[in-house]
Amino acid sequence: MANLINESFTLPCGQILKNRVCKAAMTERIASGDNLANQGHINLYDMWADGDIGILLTGNVQVDRRNLEGPANVVIDKNNYKNQLSNLKEWSAAGTKNNTQLWMQISHAGRQTPGEINSSPMAPSNIRLKIPGKNYGTPVPMTEEDILDVIEKFVFTAKIARETGFTGVQFHSAHGYLLSEFLSPDINNRNDAWGGDIENRARIHLEIIKRCREEVGEDFPISVKMNSADFQKGGFAADDSIIVAKMLENAGVDIIEISGGTYEQPKLIGVDDLTINPERSEQRKESTIAREAYFLEYAKDIRKAVSLPLMVTGGFRTKEGIEDALQSNICQIIGIGRPLCVDPYCIKKMIEGELEILPSFEKTLSLGPSILSPSSPFTIIKAVNAFGAMAWFYQQIKNMAKGLMPNHKQKLLNALRADMKADKLALKDYLNH
């Protein structure tokens, strides 16, 4: 079998990656209510940087304290950055050892901000998110001034990332957060310069990239994580993603990461449809479902239109699948998420020939037999299983942040309870600040 996984790769900006694997962004949710980086982040990335991974992407770091994905997110803004400069430097020192790249994923949660954090989050338009058992407020459509302000917020966070030793940035425009909301015609119904045709819906991305390049320079990797599709009828479609990929290439992005789905359609973790309107759901391409990599078929179509490097994330588990994808030249980098919560050193073991299949518990993490499986037709059950599995992965991230190894014996319900308790405390702490 070919061994491309361990080959180095040079990005358009000239930076060299030591191999072809990226730890995908996974939100850590370990900041205190002040939303500053802390010792937990340093411990976590210190561990992952021992795992022979080319790029470590951080979990989503937010640009606005009122629009978070969770109360324990790290936020970097003009008000708080001075209070965390030394921790950010220690975080980057830990995550860049062993010639590892450490890129900060930068985000704004938009309408996916939990209602308990903000009952009137900012979004392109006022279309509310509805997920069973969850509370999201009706968004306030952003004014032109809000949009220009948020562009500068993204750029500011990227500038601090570079100044504190992170070796690249990624703008999160996937999974239904603010930037991807702009791309989605069913969520962005603006009729000004920031909505309507795809040129307008992608404008905020191009402005951020242009301003970011001015601030961070030509030799600093800039990446965008983008949906191949939202899998929502009337949403961001695969044809749109090809057009946006071309625009991002022309704008000077170094690498696009391809994922897919939203909170309503969590196909990013292989789960179908949590909406209260399942008839609005669109299925993934069959050929993709059959193979391990959820979005490789979509990336194949994007590859035909662009020549910049692509990373594909979601579902890769076997050395054979990874090598096949790299060999096909559809993508140059493979993103790996959940297996690195089960074993932080699993990539090193795969590269050294000790492992052919990455450890992954997602198939066994469900409440029970078939009726309760993630493919169950019952939305509530599906939601419990999907949230429970996520809780399990969050718990393992928290263990590693304490310097402990993942606890493979932890049961799904126990993880769910622990995660709900931690979320409650984090919210209280956040609201007290």
Ligand X SMILES: Cc1cc2nc3c(=O)[nH]c(=O)nc-3n(C[C@H](O)[C@H](O)[C@H](O)COP(=O)(O)O)c2cc1C
- Indicate whether 238 belongs to the interface with ligand X (CB under 6 A): no
- Indicate whether 27 belongs to the interface with ligand X (CB under 6 A): yes
What is the nearest approach in angstroms of ligand X to the Cβ of residue 311? 10
Query: What value does the CA radius of gyration of the chain take, rounded to a whole number of Å?
Result: 20
Binding residue for ligand X (CB under 6 A) from 347, 390, 401, 422? 390
What is the nearest approach in angstroms of ligand X to the Cβ of residue 239? 22
Axis-axis angle for helices 144-163, 203-216 (nearest 10): 30
292-331 positions binding ligand X, by CB under 6 A:
313-316
Nearer to ligand X, 155 or 342 (CB): 342
Binding residue for ligand X (CB under 6 A) from 5, 13, 17, 24? 24
Q: Which residue of the chain is nearest ligand X when measured via CB?
A: 337
Distance between terminal CA atoms of the chain?
A: 54
- Indicate whether 267 belongs to the interface with ligand X (CB under 6 A): no
Q: Which residues, at least 6 apart from 425, have a Cβ–Cβ distance to it below 8 Å? A: none
Binding residue for ligand X (CB under 6 A) from 111, 153, 159, 172? 172
User: Cβ atoms within 10 A of the Cβ of 43, count?
Assistant: 18
What is the nearest approach in angstroms of ligand X to the Cβ of residue 236? 15
Distance (Å) of CA 249 to CA 207, 255, 305, 306: 14, 8, 10, 7
What is the nearest approach in angstroms of ligand X to the Cβ of residue 53? 12
User: Cβ atoms within 10 A of the Cβ of 317, count?
Assistant: 20
Binding residue for ligand X (CB under 6 A) from 156, 220, 393, 430? 393
35-64 positions binding ligand X, by CB under 6 A:
59-60
- Indicate whether 100 belongs to the interface with ligand X (CB under 6 A): no
Burial 47-72 (b: 16+ CB within 10 A, else e): bbbebbbbbbbbbbbbbbbebbbbbb
- Indicate whether 224 belongs to the interface with ligand X (CB under 6 A): no
Nearer to ligand X, 363 or 411 (CB): 363
Binding residue for ligand X (CB under 6 A) from 25, 55, 248, 347? 25
Residues 10/16, Cβ–Cβ less than 8 Å? yes
Q: How many residues bind ligand X (CB under 6 A)?
A: 24
Binding residue for ligand X (CB under 6 A) from 71, 114, 137, 337? 337
The whole-angstrom separation of Cα 72 and Cα 74 is 7
Return the DSSP state at 97. G
- Indicate whether 269 belongs to the interface with ligand X (CB under 6 A): yes
Residues 13/220, Cβ–Cβ less than 8 Å? yes
The interface region with ligand X, picked from 143-151, 196-204, 373-381, 386-394 by CB under 6 A, is 386-394
Q: Which residues, at least 6 apart from 296, have a Cβ–Cβ distance to it below 8 Å? A: 288, 312, 325, 330, 331
Sites of contact with ligand X (CB under 6 A)? 24-27, 59-60, 105, 172, 174-175, 225, 259, 268-269, 313-316, 336-338, 390, 393-394
